[in-house]
Amino acid sequence: MVPRKLLSFLVQSAAVGIIAAAVLIFILPTTWLQTTSKDAANNTAVSNQSNPFSYADAVSRAAPAVVNIYTKKLAAGPRRFTTNNPQLERMLRNMYGRNIDRTVTSLGSGVIVTPEGHILTNNHVIENAEEIEVFLRDGRQLTASVVGADPETDLAVLQIHTTNVPSITFGTSNPLAVGDVVLAIGNPFGLGQTVSQGIISATGRNQLGINVFENYIQTDAAINPGNSGGALVNARGELIGINTITSSKNGNSVGIGFAIPIGLAQQVMSHMIKYGRVLRGWVGIRVQNISPQLSESFGLTEVGGVLVSGIVRGGPAYAAGLFPGDIIISMNDQIISEEKQVLNEVIRVSPQETLTVKGIRNGELSEWTVEVGQRPIYGSLTY
């Protein structure tokens, strides 16, 4: 038989347990449990942002500003006659001429970058075009005019005149990194707007022999004929590059495509809108890298700098006192170690501004102040 005191203790313990359970069920869910559920939801949201299951939101932000471009241009080609008689064909060619101008159509893509209807695209998309038609995603078809073109970067700016123009957001706040997810939006093979997905494979690609000024984003997102001039966007739908070319013998995508970074494209665009062309610095020198053999012949203790191998008589560098045989080691305090750096430093300076050049002449340190001129239209053999 259970003692009375023990029985009383068991009854009291059971009562306390019931009361505690009631507190957990009816009181804590409104505070602690709600907080826990909010934390779980927040963690899920963060996870979805860093590892999205879909890029539909990014596409919906960027795609309305990506346009299809169709151009018409005249091209000379052989005149053809529908005859199986070679002698008659030769006679007709002699009578009516061997060549005839034909209308050739081509396709490409572009990106609307301002509410005023300015469109960034590639120069090779619209080069020598007689007519340029732009198709917006909402179905509108408009004629575009050329604001400016720059073959040296393969960029061009067009403009359409209409209302309610969707413009893209620039992605300049975060630095690009290898491995970042990117989306290429354009008009491949004339199929209409298409999206392909990949990653940034490399940045700062140059010396490819494609253009004078090269600083490409490399990506494995599919870039095919017709994608040229289209948008390369990040996972937030922000524009980070203008798709330009693919590294392929047949022109089709092989997982190596190149895009012009939006920072460079913005600089070129601002000049085109303001001046109708890009204004770049020029000093009128030709340079070459210094090999170990040249370094030894000049008595240099280290291989560095570049050799001035030619100079334009009467040009800015000539007026400042530079001569062939001088060795340039820095420009505006930026160390120069190879030829390409000279071009990049010179074009950073606007015409009529000054460029401080430091170098070596006859084994002694020298310094020259050069008043920078304007780079000739469509390039020069000198910097």
Nearest to 317 by CA among 376, 368, 377: 368
Task: Determine the average pLDDT of the residues in 297-313.
Answer: 81
Active site annotation includes 228? yes
Q: Are 243 and 187 in contact (CB under 8 A)?
A: no
Range(s) for CATH 2.30.42.10 in the chain?
281-374
DSSP element (H, E) containing 41: helix 32-50
Asked if residue 175 has pLDDT above 90, the reply is: no
Supply the pLDDT for residue 44: 40
Choosing from 106, 118, 150, 154, the catalytic residue is: 154
Name residue 179's amino acid.
G
Contacts of 320 (CB under 8 A, 6+ apart): 283, 357, 368, 369, 370, 371
Lowest mean pLDDT among 35-39, 215-219, 295-299, 353-357: 35-39
Q: Tens digits of per-residue pLDDT, 355-374? A: 999 998 888 899 999 999 99
Choosing from 106, 118, 124, 220, the catalytic residue is: 124
- For 62-159, CATH number out of 3.40.640.10, 2.40.10.10, 1.10.540.10, 3.40.470.10 equals 2.40.10.10
More confident residue, 90 or 141: 141
Supply the pLDDT for residue 381: 73
Supply the pLDDT for residue 225: 87
Lowest mean pLDDT among 13-17, 133-137, 165-169, 361-365: 13-17
Q: Tens digits of per-residue pLDDT, 230-257? A: 999 999 999 999 999 776 666 666 778 9
Range(s) for CATH 2.40.10.10 in the chain?
62-159, 181-275
Q: Are 184 and 164 in contact (CB under 8 A)?
A: no
Mean pLDDT comparison of 7-21, 157-171, 250-264, highest-scoring range: 157-171
Asked if residue 160 has pLDDT above 90, the reply is: yes
Supply the pLDDT for residue 46: 39
Supply the pLDDT for residue 338: 86
Choosing from 228, 253, 271, 330, the catalytic residue is: 228
Asked if residue 216 has pLDDT above 80, the reply is: yes
Q: Tens digits of per-residue pLDDT, 308-352? A: 999 999 999 999 999 999 999 999 999 998 888 898 889 888 899
pTM value is 0.73
Q: Are 271 and 375 in contact (CB under 8 A)?
A: no
Contacts of 46 (CB under 8 A, 6+ apart): none
HEC secondary structure over 123-183: HHHHCCCCEEEEECCCCCEEECEEEEEECCCCEEEEECCCCCCCCCCECCCCCCCCCCEEE
More confident residue, 340 or 262: 262
Supply the pLDDT for residue 294: 77
Supply the pLDDT for residue 58: 94
Per DSSP, the residues of 78-129 read E-----S-HHHHHHHHHHH-SEEEEEEEEEEEEEE-STT-EEEE-HHHHTT-
Q: 181-275: what fold?
A: Thrombin, subunit H (2.40.10)
Supply the pLDDT for residue 282: 92
Q: Tens digits of per-residue pLDDT, 35-74? A: 444 444 444 433 444 556 789 999 999 999 999 999 988 7
State percent of the chain over pLDDT 70.
Answer: 74
Give 51's DSSP letter.
S
Asked if residue 76 has pLDDT above 70, the reply is: no
Task: Determine the average pLDDT of the residues in 270-280.
Answer: 91
Structure tokens at 378: 């469509």
Mean pLDDT of all residues in the chain?
A: 82
What pLDDT band is residue 18 in, cutting at 50, 70 and 90? Answer: low
Per DSSP, the residues of 320-372 read HT--TT-EEEEETTEE--SHHHHHHHHHHSPTTSEEEEEEEETTEEEEEEEE-
- For 281-374, CATH number out of 2.60.260.20, 1.20.120.640, 2.30.42.10, 3.30.230.10 equals 2.30.42.10
Active site annotation includes 154? yes
Asked if residue 131 has pLDDT above 90, the reply is: yes
Contacts of 360 (CB under 8 A, 6+ apart): 298, 300, 305, 326, 327, 329, 366
